[in-house]
Structure 1
């Protein structure tokens, strides 16, 4: 082998060293390039600036990561020029293309890249519309052929929105100042700089080209002196950097010597040494306003003098008219006790009604004039709140019933039973509010509610009396005149109103005299809420104590009664009223479930047999509700219950079952057992009332065709008058007659069509209801006959003679009730059964 030349070895080693050195430098450069790329990417991200390059020769558009983020593009992706340009909103395309053409033409002439700045809107790939600001360099060859475009793009969407809003705000402000004829000024005491708006120049009569002068120059000598005194006072009181704001009326002297009245809103700032620095403000010419105000003051003074004379006249005249009117009413009363023909008695009734209406008007005018003359005095004393509220409800109860409107009251539990205030005036205001609500409400309800409010100052107690109705509401254009005197809310309402239009005006005056407030809220077509807030004082019970009753003390609860029988509805409401409870009534189980889904109740009285959905199905549905209503105590009501049905009712979810007719003591004891909602956690209660099983007696073979329990019925009716009073007892009898008429139609029809139920079920339900009515009115034998036929699969088919006989007895029962209703004077009934 030939040996390797040492010289060649040295050459090879040298070349190897050079290669190693260059590789080291390349790696270092690569690291620096990577770092610079990363720094550039960070800078783009922080500045929210993206980079995009368009290679016109290859028709390839590439972009930076920040540009990709900005426009929701794929990082490192590419697109064609047509796709790139297609992201422009159409309305900007022409302007952007033209800016590119101009820059490329300039590049062709100069032979170097030319700059182009443009703002436009693009649509990102995710649908967003962005406003961007692009700074570009475009290069063309000597023939004008585009070579490349390099742009930095910044998202200015938010900035552009703020600029537009600022311009709009400035335009609105300028327009407002111009329309309001406001003059703006600013005076810097240190630099001497003064600014006046054009409107300020116009106010003082100084041409704009003449420039502004100090504010004191246009105030006249007296004004300058007062201004300087005020500045001196503020300077003595001011602290460093203090800001003083005030509105003052002043007199400015125009250049032509005329004086104008101005109202100036001024702001005075002080520097760090507590010296006046800048005074700025807004000025408005109020010369005409002050002149009108002076004329108005004179007119008001004259009107007040005339009003005082009118008030005194009305007070005297209404008082004088009451004396002969009372005489007229007295003589009409005497005349009523004399023998009269039916036609004369009808005419006398009309005369008395008209005289009473005229007396109400005279009383309203007398009250209004007394209030205006300051001669109406309050008479405070202790009274029972519940009695006052119920007296107002009873006053309009018949009118509400005649219209089919629910009228009821609710008193919060935390209110003392006796309070001290002017009960007569509170009753007068509440009567006016309830009367109006009942008058205008054609369907739905009128509720008088009493709540406790937070006392103000040293008040011991403050109450809110709230009257809520579901009437037509008050149109918005009439609401400002609700409390106006002699106003009946416009022509569209005048045909529905009677009286003087003084009621609400007097009510407001009375409430204000009691240091209270009265107001309302109303939505046309939805109803109205009137309320009065008055301060009162708790009081001790006065008068004779009520006879002791062996009844538990119950909290005031809101109780839902589900009952389809009108008679039983009245009985339940009357008993619950006397037990101090708030009562809502629905006619079937479906309505009961709906009511519990919408409102909060403390307890449910659920009739077992009802149309649409019976009590058992409704109770099961309630127990499945996903709310706290699922745990509400439910007491079942039924005309009869067998011992083997106890487990059935418990399984359905009833907590207790009471038999009809309801006895007040048993009802009170049941309410006491379930007054605590936590009691539902225990086992169902079995009481004497629930354990009683009425023995169903079959109808005798030769069933009588006449009602045989007349004496029992008359005794029970007498008891109803004694327990509930003539008004409620009369309502019970009328409701019973109406229900019997309805059920006779169902029982006698070949194919009942009252509901969608099968005829057999309709007859069963009618028999059940008649059984409940007869039991309520104290006729157990008749009730048992109804139950016996109700238990048969088809009474008409299986016991036709008994069925026909029973309908005859129902007619006889109906006739006896009608006779009692026509002879229901309390004194006659109590005399016969004393």
Structure 2
């Protein structure tokens, strides 16, 4: 070592003299598992006379492991390597922050998929939230308070104390005793108080509350529902001050939003239960499920969006594995949500088929290929094509694929060994069929009639209850819409066969223009980063986490957007900037002014450019909300969770648009 800066001591614990005078080799500090890979990478790059970048672990003088990044370059004299020059950066803080973010997202995903959230079960949900968030936020006490009916006091619903791992309730705080605190709860969003003795909003707690509880620092987040404050979640430290990080406030706010959604679900359930008692039970149930699925989409946008952003950061194999688990679990939850929505549409008679010429063999092959890549069992999926079926049929290929994937996925769930066979072909000149046959655990023939009933999960198929019990009923409803039939046959221990029969409507082979193929390739299959530096984008989104997600996705597309938290702010920014925006991503449900109203007001401005595009960004997935968005002057409709591919497609289409104002379906 010829020269090294003083920063080496902070990183390794060894002084400059240890490396210069005593010639301590840096290689001795590198983790044994990383030494050879580092050596190989450096030698390869030096042989090419190229700079090198490597990540590895070092073990410092105290025995602690640090993740570091090294950048280096060789110095040559007459072609001979004489020196190495470079620098080393400590990645440990970034790694720890990434791990903390993943813990936050795992908790959000766990709570968002909890049955207590969907069923509106406040106490067990909050107990789970309190116990887990006490760990992720590293606090001593977590409590939930809700306003009483008179709105002049807050009642303690649940208090969790980490030291004793105990839960308690039955305490009330009156507004008359704590006026400044109540004012802050009603007006603000979050109170991050590092020392309650120095903040005016909490000095009222010093005479009684603080001495009794020992609380010294507080992070209190208001719970809002339909624009009204209904309660507060408190995160408290005992015995010492605490400076709250931005990430802590964002995480606490997300948990407050989940609690608000649970209370909304609880109210929906109570209202819809009365409707069920007075009207048809099946119709009321479908409406309730549609509402619940909408409420879950907002936090799911934060969960899956953050996952997508994390994939773009440096990850260790272990972190990649954790992230894959979050993504797969989130995908399962989103599948359940979509099942609920589909069932609601089917039950209300609102699902319509869209037919087009479909290449049957390509459709079946693509579905099987996809499932072969994603399932983790040693189960072979076999495709058998019978004779007599035209290459192309007129049908709704999206819904046919949905039925096929559901049937194969169901077979995989209940098959541990053997194979799954998918057969298809013509029955006669008017009908064709496809079937899915597995070698799984089978079904008691007596319970087969229950297979296609909603919310039924046959006990004879073991203890596997993952899902909603809606998959097969949705398949049956779609097949009925296609004027076909579906039936199952099975025997315990010998497997199950599901047979679908459909009317045959031959279609000519469709021709795809070359330019369309190019567009599809660019928009759907390219992994290149989309770059749209000339687009001016405004994002209106009241949820802080979702704002962070959308900003991160746009940044990956080369766009630095302007951000605001409600429709009124969007209108004011648009006016202040004289309508210079090309695109506005507009949430529909926001406080102060909603996205529909803001879009109408923006369209009414005389200087609103004719090429301005407004895209709805919403958790509403039903067609009536889509129509409402177009009537308000929006051009596009994006549903949460927002995918990077959907955003890229929107930006690509936006760049191709002529300067016109016609809405795009």
TM range (shorter): 0.3 to 0.5
Higher Rg: 1
With a CA cutoff of 8 Å and minimum separation of 6, indicate the structure with the bigger relative contact order.
2
Q: TM-score, normalised by structure 2?
A: 0.34
The structure in which a higher percent of residues are helix is 1
Q: TM-score, normalised by structure 1?
A: 0.27
